Amino acid sequence: MESELSGEVVVVGGGVIGLTTAVVLAERGRRVRVWTRDPVERTTSAVAGALWWPYRIRPVAAARAWALRSLDVYEQLAADPDRTGVRMVEGVLGEEELDDGFDWLTTRLPGLRAVTSEEYAGTGLWARLPLVDMAAHLPWLRRRFTAAGGVVETRTVSDLKEVEAPVVVNCTGLGARELAADASVVPVRGQLVVVENPGIRTWVVSTGADGEMAYFFPQPGRLLLGGTAVEDAWSTEPDPAVAEAIVRRCAALRPEIAGARVLGHRVGLRPARDAVRLERELLSDGRVLVHNYGHGGAGVTVAWGCAEEAAGLAASA
Residue 297 among known ligand-binding residues:
yes
Query: What residue segments make up the domains of the chain, in order of their start?
Result: 2-96+129-184+273-315, 186-272
Report residue 290's pLDDT band, with 50, 70 and 90 as the boundaries: very high
> pTM higher than 0.85, yes or no?
yes
Residue 264 among known ligand-binding residues:
no
Average pLDDT of the chain to the nearest whole number: 94
Residue 29 among known ligand-binding residues:
no
Residue 42 among known ligand-binding residues:
no
May I ask the CATH class of domain 186-272? alpha beta
Residue 299 among known ligand-binding residues:
yes
Choose from 79-88, 106-115, 159-168 the range with maximum mean pLDDT: 79-88
Residues 48 and 217: their CA atoms lie apart, in Å, by 11
Residue 30 among known ligand-binding residues:
no
| 92-118 pLDDT tens trace | 999 999 887 888 999 899 899 999 999
Residue 228 among known ligand-binding residues:
no
Instruction: Return the C-alpha torsion angle 251, 44, 90, 24, nearest 10.
Output: 180
Residue 211 among known ligand-binding residues:
no
Report residue 317's pLDDT band, with 50, 70 and 90 as the boundaries: low
Residue 157 among known ligand-binding residues:
yes
pLDDT at 242: 97
Burial class of residue 57, CB neighbours in 10 A (0-12, 13-18, 19+): buried
What is the amino acid identity at position 287? R
Helical spans, DSSP H, in 110-239: 134-147, 176-179
Residue 235 among known ligand-binding residues:
no
Residue 158 among known ligand-binding residues:
no
**CATH T-level topology, domain 2-96+129-184+273-315:** Rossmann fold (3.40.50)
Residue 85 among known ligand-binding residues:
no
